[in-house]
């Protein structure tokens, strides 16, 4: 693997400069709220996934959007992932600079600036992009030709998530044929992430939905193959369906991400991966019947994933009922038997970590309760943060 | 106001450099998602509030947590705010460095480093904070003494929000005495944000709830005054109740924030203020029965939002996508830009590092969001270095 | 799951610290295979009861051709098994307390779950909790076939309960279960008790079917009544547990299973005519009798808390020698340990956590 690029090492130095006084100290001495990642649990998750790969038919393409850490992404590559998956062009740039040779932007770009970013990035790595529209494919092609590079393309198939993706085998064929004919593009296959299964809490129903989704996905692939459009790559799976989809001999790559850093939401469904990401918070107020923490929705994001509860709660006091979550406060009901008091620093289950990750600058990396490093979150938030200019300038 | 310090100007220069290509462009030409600030609407909101404040005896303290922009905060002061309200000590540091000298952390500041940050800031600005417990008072006092500064302290009153705060004069009195007797602290009065009223959309009920809350708050102030601890400041109100609270006898200042930038929730409470902040998104997929935007919960925040100008039902918000129901008559197509009106804008702001500032339809500047995110220990280091 | 590091010494078999629980993987696998062979062609399955060993890694290896899921005695056992990745669990016990019902329902997010019921009130509570979190829970009506412990007392009661279950959301009636208990060769009226128990099950099945209910699963029996269960036409799934590891007193039942577990101790004291091993009640379950010597002859064995005093003839083994004994009762033995050593072909190859040890809640 290539070394980490300067943009990563500089960001690492920057956050170490900001928060590094915590290194060597207990996580409970950190200024709160702070995002904590447990290195041992990260390793355990990575090693467990790696240990399961030999029995699965597919390759592992680690998704990074859940943690957005170039350091964690690199660990995914060191533990069996052949490449990475990103939600945006900006994440893809960061991950290539973290050492990835293969990156899939599992999303439609539909924007001249983002397309330009993808085709420039293709100078440095094998870049693949999702497409579900013939005009978008044509625009991608033009951008690739202008940059003198080639982009891999996966036609996105809606296998039940009802978000983006073509709606039928016929449409998939139409888009696939268009991609085949366009210069600067390489028709790599199909993407059919069965994400709607991750919204089904019941184990058996989730399995049924996954099976139906993959059956349809394979049918679409067969339709294209039978009509002169080979699909060497069939990419799918999330952490909640990884082992079922992975056991399907037709699926060639699994694009799961939550398995590494994990969150309460996925842990409800898949207990074999442990929650490596948590927060530390301070009790700032203790009235007779409640306790208030110094984090709210502007830190952990939301207490629901869609309409499903994600249960943010306090370690060691998981029974406390939430009273209300505000912007900067979380209030829980607590009677006199609750031992929490003003000033206590406690661990906090975030509920759904990706929401929180997008608010923070960095992870406090912890081993046995001691802070050992600070890792930057990159890119922060939804803006590109100058990453496009970086590529244009050839850095 | 003082001029903004290097902390602000350097951040401004940095984001301006990063997003320079956007300056001079219209909405349709921007890379999405982008956080948009319309200067015209912002000014109209600030003017409207300033006009409303002319008839009332209270002063205006603008809460900055809703926008976290030193530039917007300065405009708020220019339009008559006597100072700012902050949710954290880090926001207070940023705003003080933006040139605003009266900063009130309307929240409990707990933890050695945060107390120290507050005490150090109190050397360069008129700093206030809220308490509801003796432990907090003692920690603040030690920090102020160590820093050689003086912190103004107000007692947080719970009139129905059931979060922090004391609920009676019996609780407030010993706390007030403790503050008054603590070295490094000055007892300044009470703060009692009647936030529970902002969850009541029926105006008559909401106004009645606000009056009841203010009755409790000013009653405690009266009891404290009678005990020899007069309240120089009695601070309350949000954008949903400011009309009532600003007129209530005994209240000295109001602390609304949302009025400047607005969101779906507050439009339901006070529709006179306009949408100054929106999120620009692109349609990235167009199916016959839906459109998909490139802005989801990790951009717009937990409360989601609606599309400006289009009455489309929400299908689902995922992390990086929002899906709205459409039909074949909806003329939106792949590549189109739309603006999302957030149901609660402060949740979106925290995800961005900058505003694209628009005037007459064109981007005229890029303003930093500061402090970004929840962790800001480096601001304490800056103060300790004497920078 | 991999173990902690083990030094691969040539006589690694004798390197562990005692007292230690050791499972012979060859014998265990042979037992599991023998059960598969017994079931072939019968149309029946086994649902291995994991209370026997409370070790997820052993449970995993019992699943296969004729075993789709496992049986647990408690919610805690089920949690440990599901956490290790097992995806089909029957809690063959009543779950009544609200907190346990919440834990039970939560399991249905991670695994197919079924539970025994014999009363409509907990049934309603389970339904409510399952509906609240968006899952469906399988239900087996527990029938009192012999032991007069849990279970509905009559076919009429079973039908009434089935009607309640049918009306409630988020539940699915899978069938019935009944347990006739551990019946060793020579126990009083063994054949009669088994026959009456199975007749009771048949009566309940008939009544439910007459009332219009599908009864897909008739679950019950155990290792000690395996032959009879295999011959019975009504039973579809056998909740056998100890077959995989075996106990000495079941060896006379003409079953193709061999003892697969030993407790290993060290000679810590030696006097004329006797040795003392560091094996006592603290590490071996005694309810079915004292542990039996393996590979050596003893004229007397006296077990106290930490010691086994073995009276034997010369030549006495030297101090420090490691010797094995057969536990009389497997499940209490496993519940006294945190981990079990795994040996194959005389070599120690791994160490597995007894993750559900102590999981009685």
* pLDDT, position C13: 55
Which class in CATH covers the domain with range C12-22+257-353?
mainly beta
Mean pLDDT of A345-363: 92
What pLDDT, on the 0 to 100 scale, is given for residue C216? 97
Give exposure, B245-264, as e/b (b: 16+ Cβ within 10 Å): bbebebbbbbbbbbbbbbbb
Q: Specify the pLDDT at position A381.
A: 83
Which of chain C's residues have a Cβ under 8 Å away from the Cβ of A309?
133
Q: Is C267 helix (H, G, I), strand (E, B) or coil?
A: strand
> Omega into A33 within 30° of 0, i.e. cis?
yes
C314 Cβ contact partners less than 8 Å away, ≥ 6 residues apart: none
Q: Which residues of A touch C134 (CB under 8 A)?
A: 200-202, 308
Mean pLDDT of A261-276: 93
**With b meaning 16 or more CB within 10 Å and e meaning fewer, what string describes C317-347?**
beeeebbbbbbbbbbebbbbbebbbbbeeee
- Residue A58 pLDDT: 95
Q: How far apart are CA A138 and CA B306, in angstroms?
A: 31
C140: which strand partners? Answer: C116, C175
A136 CB near a chain B CB, below 8 Å?
A: yes
For residues A271-310, one letter each, b for 16 or more C-beta atoms within 10 angstroms of the residue's C-beta and e for the rest, the string is bbbbbbbbbbbbbbbbbeebbbbbbbbbbbbbbbbeebbb
Contact B287 A290 (CB under 8 A): no
Nearest CA in chain C to A199: C134
Contact call for residues A95 and A257 (beta carbons, < 8 A)? no
Contact call for A302 and B297, based on CB within 8 A: yes
Question: Which residue range is the domain that position A200 belongs to?
Answer: 39-268
Scan for tokens 């000014």, then name that residue.
B43
What angle do the packed helices A112-121 and A134-147 form, to 10 degrees?
50
Give the CATH number of the domain where residue A207 resides: 3.20.20.10
Residues 6+ apart with CB under 8 A from C10: none
- To the nearest whole angstrom, how far is the Cα of C110 from the nearest Cα of chain A? 5
* CA-based nearest residue to C147, from C179, C185, C111, C183: C179
Residue C283: which of C335, C323, C241 has the closest Cα?
C335
Helix (H), strand (E) at residue A39: helix A39-52
Domain coordinates in residue numbering, chain B: 18-38+273-368, 56-260
pLDDT value at position A390? 83
pLDDT band at B330 (very low <50, low <70, confident <90, very high): very high
CB pairs under 8 A between A and B: 209
Which secondary structure element, helix H or strand E, spans residue A204, and what is its range?
helix A203-226
Give me the percent of chain B exceeding a pLDDT of 90. Answer: 92
- CA C238 to chain CA centroid, Å, is 11
pLDDT of residue A386: 81
Contacts of B368 (CB under 8 A, 6+ apart): B8, B11, B12, B14, B15, B69, B70, B353, B354, B355
Residues 6 or more apart whose CB falls under 8 angstroms from that of C48 comprise: C59, C62, C63, C67, C70, C71, C239, C240, C241, C244
Q: What is the mean pLDDT of chain C?
A: 93
B266 at interface of A, judged by CB pairs closer than 8 A: no
Task: Show residues of chain C in contact with A308, CB under 8 Å.
Answer: 134
What is the per-residue burial (b if ≥16 Cβ within 10 Å, else e) of A258-270?
bbbbbbbbbbbbb
**Confidence band for C65, pLDDT divided at 50, 70 and 90:** confident
pLDDT confidence of residue A1:
86
Q: Are A67 and A277 in contact (CB under 8 A)?
A: yes
pLDDT of A15 higher than 80: yes
- The interface residues of chain B toward chain A in range 120-159, judged by CB-CB distance below 8 A, are 132-133, 135-136, 139, 156, 158
- Condensed to tens digits (0 to 9), the pLDDT of residues C228-274 reads 999 999 999 999 999 999 999 999 999 999 999 999 999 999 999 99
Residue A52 has pLDDT above 50, yes or no: yes
CB contact under 8 A, C109 and A269: yes
Q: What is the CATH number of domain B18-38+273-368?
A: 2.40.37.20
| Cβ-Cβ contacts under 8 Å, A203 against chain C | 87, 108-113, 135
- What mean pLDDT is predicted for residues C10-39? 88
| pLDDT at residue C4 in the model | 37
**Mean local confidence (pLDDT), B244-250:** 95
Which residues sit opposite C266 in a β-bridge?
A: C322
Residues A31, B113: C-beta atoms closer than 8 Å: yes
| Chains touching chain C, criterion 3+ CB pairs below 8 Å | A
Q: Which residue of A has its CA nearest to C133?
A: A201
Mean pLDDT of A48-57: 94
Main-chain dihedrals φ then ψ at residue C162, nearest 5 degrees: -60, -40
Q: For residue range B171-229, what is the model confidence (pLDDT) as tens digits?
A: 999 999 999 999 999 999 999 999 999 999 999 999 999 999 999 999 999 999 999 99
Asked if residue A23 is part of any domain, the answer here is: no
Q: Give pLDDT, residue A380.
A: 85
Distance from CA of A372 to the nearest CA of C (A): 24
Cα A66–chain centre separation: 3
Per the DSSP assignment, residues forming a β-bridge with B355 are: B367
Q: Which residue of C has its CA nearest to A48?
A: C1
Contacts of C57 (CB under 8 A, 6+ apart): C1, C84, C352, C353
Q: Residue B15: which residues within 8 A CB-CB, separation 6 or more?
A: B353, B354, B366, B367, B368
Count of domains in chain A?
1
- Selected for mutation to probe chain A from B302, B340, B374 (highest A CB count within 10 Å) is B374
Same fold, B18-38+273-368 and B56-260: no
Residues of chain C with CATH 2.40.37.20: 12-22+257-353
DSSP A300-353: H--SEETTEE---EETT-TTPPEEEE-SS-EEEE--TT----TT-EEEEE-SSH
**pLDDT tier, A305 (very low <50, low <70, confident <90, very high otherwise):** confident
Chain A CB contacts of C85 under 8 Å are 271-272
pLDDT at residue A301, as a whole number: 87
CA-nearest residue to B318 within chain A is A306
> Closest partner residue to A342 among B21, B133, B376, by Cβ?
B133
**Which residues 178-237 of B are in CB contact (within 8 Å) with A?**
195
pLDDT at B18 over 80: yes
Whole-number pLDDT of residue C300: 94
Q: pLDDT band at residue C60, thresholds of 50, 70 and 90?
A: very high
Q: Would you state the torsion angle of the CA atoms of residues C206, C212, C214, C215, taken in this order, to the nearest 10 degrees?
A: -20
Q: How far apart are CA B356 and CA B368, in angstroms?
A: 9
Please list the residues that pair with B290 across neighbouring strands.
Answer: B287, B325
What's the rounded mean pLDDT across residues B79-102? 97
Among A298, A353, A18, A380, residue whose Cα is nearest residue B354: A380
Q: What is the pLDDT of residues C287-318, one digit of tens each?
A: 899 999 999 999 999 999 999 999 999 999 99
CB A321 within 8 A of CB A233: no
Residue A162 touches partner B, C-beta closer than 8 Å:
yes
Contacts of B299 in chain A (CB under 8 A): 358, 381-382
Distance CA C126, CA C171 (A): 8
- CB contacts, 8 Å: C83 with chain A: 271-272
pLDDT, mean of residues A31-57: 95
Classified by CATH at the fold level, domain C25-245 comes out as TIM Barrel (3.20.20)
For residue C12, name the pLDDT band (cuts at 50, 70, 90). low
Determine, yes or no, domain membership for A9.
no
Residues in chain A closer than 8 A to C110 (CB atoms): 203, 268-271
List alpha helices for chain B, DSSP H: 6-18, 39-54, 70-78, 89-97, 112-121, 134-147, 169-181, 203-226, 242-245, 264-267, 297-300, 345-349, 377-384
Alpha-carbon gap, residue A238 to A196, rounded angstroms? 10
How large is the ipTM? 0.89
List chains touching B (3+ CB pairs under 8 A): A
Q: Which residues are within 8 A (CB) of A351 and not within 5 positions of it... i.e. 6 or more apart? A: A263, A264, A265, A300, A301, A302, A303, A310, A311, A312, A313
d(CA B210, CA A108): 48
Interchain contact A265–B (C-beta under 8 A)? no
**Cα dihedral: B159, B165, B171, B177 (round 10):** -120
C109/A201 CB distance under 8 A? yes
Judge: A272–C106 Cβ closer than 8 Å, yes or no.
no
Three-state SS for B340?
Answer: strand
Residues in chain C with CB shorter than 8 Å from the CB of A40 are none
State the DSSP code for C194: H
At A187 the three-state DSSP class reads: strand
pLDDT digits (tens, 9 = 90+) for C214-227: 999 999 999 999 99
Least CB–CB distance from A202: residue in C84, C87, C109: C109
Measure the CA–CA gap between A22 and A371, rounded to whole angstroms. Answer: 6
DSSP B268: T
pLDDT at position C11: 52
3-state secondary structure of C297: coil
**pLDDT of C192-206, one tens digit each?**
999 999 999 999 999
| Spatial CA neighbour of B161 closest among A329, A118, A260, A127 | A329
Q: Is the pLDDT of residue C10 over 70?
A: no
Q: Of the candidates C82, C113, C134, which has its C-beta nearest A201's C-beta?
A: C134
CA distance C311 to B56: 100
Lookup result for tokens 């129905």: B160
A271 contacts C83? CB cut-off 8 A? yes
pLDDT of residue C9: 40
For residue A369, tell me if it sits in a domain. no
Dump the DSSP string for B183-217. TTEEEEEEE---GGGGG---HHHHHHHHHHHHHHH
Residue A135 has pLDDT above 70, yes or no: yes
Tell me what the pLDDT averaged over chain A comes to. Answer: 94
Confirm if A317 and A340 have CB atoms less than 8 A apart.
yes
3-state secondary structure C95-111: CCCHHHHHHHHHHCCCC
- Alpha-carbon distances of C327 from C57, C282, C324, rounded to whole Å: 20, 12, 10
pLDDT in tens, A223-258: 999 999 999 999 999 999 999 999 999 999 999 999
C131-181 pLDDT per residue, tens = 999 999 999 999 999 888 899 999 999 999 999 999 999 999 999 999 998
Q: Do B165 and A110 touch (CB under 8 A)?
A: no
Residue B373 pLDDT: 80
What is the spatial distance between Cα A138 and Cα A178, in angstroms, rounded to a whole number? 8
Q: Kind and range of the H or E element at A114? A: helix A112-121
In C, residues 87-126, which contact A (CB 8 Å cutoff)? 87, 106, 108-113
Q: Look at A202 and C113 and tell me if their CB atoms are within 8 Å.
A: no
CATH 3.40.50.150 applies to domain B56-260 = no
CB contact (8 A) between residue C85 and residue A271? yes
Q: Which residue among A87, A292, A383 sits closest to B163, beta carbon to beta carbon?
A: A292
Cα–Cα distance for residue pair C94/C139, rounded to 1 Å: 10
Across the interface, of A21, A22, A327, the residue whose CB is closest to B65 is A327
The Cα diameter of chain A in Å comes to 72
């Amino acid at each position: 693997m290539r070394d980490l690029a300067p943009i990563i090492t500089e960001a690492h130095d920057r956050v170490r400069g900001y928060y590094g006084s915590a290194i060597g100290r207990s996580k409970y001495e950190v200024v709160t709220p702070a995002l904590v990642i447990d290195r041992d649990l990260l390793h355990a998750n990575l090693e467990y996934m790696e240990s399961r790969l030999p029995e699965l038919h597919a390759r592992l393409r680690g998704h990074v959007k859940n943690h957005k850490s170039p350091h964690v992404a690199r660990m995914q590559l060191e533990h069996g992932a052949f490449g990475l998956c990103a939600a945006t062009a900006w994440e893809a740039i960061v991950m290539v600079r973290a050492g990835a040779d293969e990156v899939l932007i599992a999303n439609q770009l539909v924007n001249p600036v983002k397309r330009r970013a993808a085709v420039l990035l293709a100078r440095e790595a094998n870049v693949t992009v999702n497409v579900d529209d013939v005009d978008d494919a044509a625009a991608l092609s033009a951008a690739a030709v202008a940059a003198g590079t080639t982009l891999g393309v996966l036609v996105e198939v809606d296998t039940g998530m009802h978000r983006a993706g073509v709606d039928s085998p016929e449409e998939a064929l139409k888009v696939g044929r268009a991609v085949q004919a366009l210069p600067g593009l390489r028709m790599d296959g199909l993407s059919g992430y069965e994400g709607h299964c991750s919204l089904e809490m019941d184990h058996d129903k989730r399995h049924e939905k996954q099976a139906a989704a993959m059956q349809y996905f394979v049918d679409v692939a067969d339709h294209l193959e039978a009509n002169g459009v080979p699909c060497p790559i069939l990419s799918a799976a999330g952490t909640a369906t990884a082992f079922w989809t992975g056991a399907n001999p037709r699926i060639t790559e699994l694009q799961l991400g939550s398995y590494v850093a994990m969150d309460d939401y996925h842990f409800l469904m898949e207990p074999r991966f442990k929650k490596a990401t948590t927060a530390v918070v301070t009790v700032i107020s203790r009235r007779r019947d409640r306790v208030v923490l110094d984090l709210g929705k502007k830190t952990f994001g939301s207490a629901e994933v869609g309409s499903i509860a994600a249960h943010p709660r306090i370690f060691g006091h998981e029974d406390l009922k939430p009273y209300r979550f505000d912007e900067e406060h979380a209030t829980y009901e607590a009677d006199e038997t609750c031992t929490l008091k003003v000033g206590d620093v406690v661990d906090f289950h975030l509920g759904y970590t990706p929401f929180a990750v997008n608010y923070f600058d960095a992870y406090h990396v912890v081993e046995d309760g001691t802070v050992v490093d600070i890792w930057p979150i990159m890119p922060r938030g939804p803006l590109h943060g100058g990453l496009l200019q970086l590529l244009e300038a050839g850095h | 106001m003082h001029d903004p310090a290097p902390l602000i100007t350097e951040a401004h220069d940095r984001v301006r450099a990063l997003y320079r290509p956007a300056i001079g462009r219209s909405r349709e030409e921007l890379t999405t998602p982008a956080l948009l600030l319309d200067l015209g609407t912002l000014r109209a909101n600030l003017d409207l509030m300033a006009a409303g404040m002319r008839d009332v005896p209270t002063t205006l303290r603008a809460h900055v947590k809703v926008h976290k922009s030193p530039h917007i905060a300065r405009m708020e002061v220019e339009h008559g705010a006597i100072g700012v309200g902050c949710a954290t000590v880090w926001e207070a540091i940023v705003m003080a460095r933006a040139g605003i000298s009266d900063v009130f952390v309307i929240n409990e500041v707990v933890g050695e480093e945060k107390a120290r940050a507050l005490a150090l800031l109190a050397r360069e600005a008129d700093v206030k904070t809220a308490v509801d417990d003796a432990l907090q008072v003692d920690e603040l006092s030690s920090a102020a003494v160590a820093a050689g500064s003086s912190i103004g302290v107000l007692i947080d009153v719970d009139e129905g929000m059931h979060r922090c705060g004391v609920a009676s004069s019996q609780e407030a009195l010993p706390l007030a005495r403790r503050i008054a007797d603590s070295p490094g602290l000055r007892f300044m009065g009470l703060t009692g944000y009647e936030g529970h009223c902002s969850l009541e959309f029926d105006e008559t009920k909401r106004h009645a709830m606000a009056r009841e809350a203010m009755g409790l708050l000013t009653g405690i102030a009266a009891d404290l005054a009678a005990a020899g601890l007069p309240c120089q400041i009695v601070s309350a109100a949000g954008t949903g109740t400011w009309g009532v609270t600003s007129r209530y006898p005994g209240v000295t200042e109001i602390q609304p924030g949302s009025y400047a930038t607005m969101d779906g929730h507050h439009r339901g409470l006070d529709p006179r203020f306009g949408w100054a902040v929106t999120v620009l998104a692109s349609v990235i997929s167009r199916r016959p029965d839906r459109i998909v935007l490139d802005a989801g919960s990790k951009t717009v925040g937990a409360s989601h939002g609606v599309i400006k100008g289009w009455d489309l039902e929400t299908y689902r918000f995922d992390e990086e996508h929002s899906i709205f129901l459409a039909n074949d008559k909806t003329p939106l197509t792949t590549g189109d830009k739309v603006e999302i009106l957030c149901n609660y804008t402060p949740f979106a702001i925290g995800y961005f590092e900058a505003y694209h500032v628009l005037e007459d339809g064109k981007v005229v500047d890029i303003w930093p969001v500061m402090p970004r995110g929840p962790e800001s220990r480096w601001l304490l280091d800056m103060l300790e270095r004497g920078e | 799951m991999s173990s902690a590091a083990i030094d691969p010494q040539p006589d690694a078999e004798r390197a562990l610290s005692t007292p230690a629980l050791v499972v012979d993987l060859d014998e265990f696998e042979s037992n599991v295979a023998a059960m598969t062979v017994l079931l072939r062609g019968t149309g029946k399955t086994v649902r291995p009861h994991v209370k026997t060993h409370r070790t997820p890694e052993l449970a995993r290896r019992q699943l296969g051709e004729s075993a789709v899921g496992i049986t647990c005695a408690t919610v805690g056992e089920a949690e440990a098994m599901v956490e290790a990745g097992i995806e089909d669990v029957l809690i063959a016990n009543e779950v009544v307390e609200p907190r346990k019902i919440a834990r039970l329902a939560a399991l249905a997010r991670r695994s197919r779950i079924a539970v025994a019921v014999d009363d409509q009130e907990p049934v309603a509570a389970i339904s409510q909790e399952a509906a609240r979190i968006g899952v469906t829970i399988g239900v087996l009506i527990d029938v009192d076939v012999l032991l007069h412990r849990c279970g509905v007392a009559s076919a009429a009661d079973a039908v009434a309960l089935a009607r309640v279950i049918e009306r409630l959301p988020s539940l699915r009636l899978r069938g019935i279960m009944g347990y006739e208990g551990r019946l060793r060769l020579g126990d009083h009226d063994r054949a009669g008790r088994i026959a009456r128990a199975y007749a009771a099950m048949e009566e309940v099945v008939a009544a439910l079917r007459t009332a219009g209910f599908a009864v897909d699963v008739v679950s019950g029996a155990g290792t000690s009544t395996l032959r009879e269960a295999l011959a019975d036409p009504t039973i579809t799934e056998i909740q056998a547990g100890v077959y995989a590891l075996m106990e000495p007193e079941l060896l006379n039942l003409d079953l193709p299973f061999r003892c697969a577990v030993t407790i290993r101790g060290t000679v810590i004291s030696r006097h004329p005519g006797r040795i003392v091993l560091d094996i006592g009640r603290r590490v071996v379950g005694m309810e079915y009798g004292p542990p039996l010597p393996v590979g050596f002859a003893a004229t007397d064995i006296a077990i106290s808390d930490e010691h086994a005093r073995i009276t034997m003839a010369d030549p006495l083994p030297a101090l420090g020698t490691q010797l094995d004994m057969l536990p009389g009762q497997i499940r209490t033995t496993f519940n006294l340990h945190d981990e079990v050593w795994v040996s194959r072909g005389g070599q120690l190859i791994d160490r597995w956590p007894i993750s559900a040890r102590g999981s009685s809640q």
